[in-house]
């Protein structure tokens, strides 16, 4: 599941004589909900909502594995004639970059494994033994796929199954932000499924947008923030394995939704949750997923090498206790 980020703002419409109305638009997208808060004329909300929903539809038609006639679904079924759109190209190219930067821990070709473990859009396998896992692993690896000059996707094996869920939602938020800016809106906050894009400032408070990172101990009915921070023209996304998992009815084994692309494992690392701040939500989304798979020590090494991202990691100490690892840049954004 995606780790929820709590908005610490009032979701209301208000105005003063000098400041435009604070407007919050809500809806559904990518299997979850969104809330977009901005400052402008109250009568603009229907137009803005139509535009947001239109962006969501375009992203879905390109990259949703849950829509049978989307481009990605056709490609997953083996259609090599599909000429992908600009959005698909963006996500594919960024995935290639992040696959390299994460040393392979971010890999959207794990879709077949995700389905097999019961976290995708097909029926899970009844038994996943070492022989079956070895067989499936030959269809994993972003080095086995290419984007041709003609705009088609070339796969080394037709069975390779793309799953952009760990980056497409963040990319969708980035595209919504572009739409908002094209409408002349400079101060807004986008929250979609717990992921955030903050642009400009909160005009009524004349300060940065403030958001909270949810505690891993909070329930779905009572979400509690463990820390609050300020965001300026940045994105934040998170991932966690502390809620969504599946228990195999036959073996009793627990599987989590984060797949290790290097081993094919769906078992917990010692990172329980990862929240990442980056310039784009797509990057934050992908990095958070990668940190969940690679564990604490590898994550710390990569965070030290990447100067354009910051993170707040909650990890297990192995004795029913937890700790946190927070980068310097993230600490600077925390509120009192």
- How many whole angstroms from its chain centre is CA 59? 14
Total of domains in the chain: 1
Residues 6+ apart with CB under 8 A from 267: 254, 255, 256, 260
Measured in degrees and rounded to the nearest 5, phi and psi for residue 300 equal -65, -40
Q: Does the structure show a pLDDT above 80 at 262?
A: yes
Residues 6+ apart with CB under 8 A from 123: none
Residue 221 lies inside a defined structural domain of this protein: yes
91-149 per-position pLDDT tens digit: 999 999 999 999 999 999 999 998 988 887 777 787 788 899 999 999 999 999 999 99
145-190 per-position pLDDT tens digit: 999 999 999 999 999 999 999 999 999 999 999 999 999 999 999 9
**Choice among 28-32, 43-47, 247-251, 259-263 with the minimum mean pLDDT:** 247-251
Residue 213 lies inside a defined structural domain of this protein: yes
Check which CATH number belongs to the domain holding 220 and give it.
Answer: 3.10.520.10
What CA–CA distance (Å, rounded) separates 195 from 235?
Answer: 8
188-202 per-position pLDDT tens digit: 999 999 899 999 999
Q: Residue 186 is part of which domain span?
A: 5-64+169-235
Short-list 176, 193, 194, 173, CA closest to 185: 176
Residue 277 lies inside a defined structural domain of this protein: no
What CA–CA distance (Å, rounded) separates 1 from 149?
Answer: 35
**What percent of the chain has pLDDT above 70?**
86
291-301 per-position pLDDT tens digit: 999 999 999 99
Q: How does strand 322-326 pair with strand 310-316?
A: antiparallel
Residue 87 lies inside a defined structural domain of this protein: no
Helices 281-294 and 296-305: angle between axes, nearest 10 degrees: 140
Residue 79 lies inside a defined structural domain of this protein: no
Residue 185 lies inside a defined structural domain of this protein: yes
CB-based contact 279:308 (threshold 8 Å) = yes
Residue 209 lies inside a defined structural domain of this protein: yes
Residue 147 lies inside a defined structural domain of this protein: no
Tokens of 152: 């088609």
Q: Give the residue ranges of DSSP H helices in 64-159.
A: 71-76, 86-101, 111-117, 130-137
Tokens of 283: 């990057």
Residue 256: pLDDT band with limits 50, 70, 90? low
Q: Does the structure show a pLDDT above 90 at 10?
A: no
């Amino acid at each position: 599941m995606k780790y929820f980020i709590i908005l610490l703002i009032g979701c209301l419409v208000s105005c003063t004589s000098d400041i435009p109305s604070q407007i919050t638009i809500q809806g559904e997208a990518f299997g979850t909900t969104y809330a977009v808060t901005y400052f402008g004329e109250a009568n603009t909300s229907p137009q803005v909502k139509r535009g947001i929903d239109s962006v969501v539809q375009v992203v879905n038609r390109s990259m949703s594995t849950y829509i049978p006639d989307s481009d990605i679904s056709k490609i997953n079924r083996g259609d090599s004639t599909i000429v992908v759109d600009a959005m698909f190209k963006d996500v594919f190219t960024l995935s290639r970059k992040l696959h390299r930067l994460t040393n392979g821990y971010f890999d959207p070709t794990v879709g077949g494994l995700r389905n097999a473990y019961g976290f995708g859009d097909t029926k899970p396998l009844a038994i996943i033994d070492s022989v079956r896992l070895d067989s499936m692993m030959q269809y994993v690896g972003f080095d086995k796929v290419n984007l041709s000059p003609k705009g088609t996707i070339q796969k080394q094996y037709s069975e390779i199954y793309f799953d952009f869920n760990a980056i497409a939602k963040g990319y969708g938020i980035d595209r919504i932000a572009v739409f908002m800016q094209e409408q002349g809106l400079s101060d807004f906050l986008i929250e979609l499924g717990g992921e955030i894009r903050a642009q400009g400032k909160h005009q009524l408070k004349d300060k940065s947008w403030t958001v909270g990172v949810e505690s891993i101990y909070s329930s779905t009915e009572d979400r509690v923030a463990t820390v609050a921070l300020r965001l300026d023209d940045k994105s934040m996304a998170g991932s966690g394995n502390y809620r969504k998992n599946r228990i195999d009815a036959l073996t009793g084994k627990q599987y989590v939704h984060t797949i290790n692309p290097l081993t094919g494992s769906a078992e917990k690392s010692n990172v329980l949750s990862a929240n990442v701040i980056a310039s784009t939500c797509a990057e934050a989304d992908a990095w958070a997923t990668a940190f969940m798979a690679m564990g604490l020590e590898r994550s710390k090494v990569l965070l030290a090498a990447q100067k354009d991202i910051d993170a707040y990691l909650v990890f297990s100490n192995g004795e029913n206790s937890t700790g946190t690892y927070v980068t310097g840049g993230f600490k600077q954004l925390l509120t009192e």
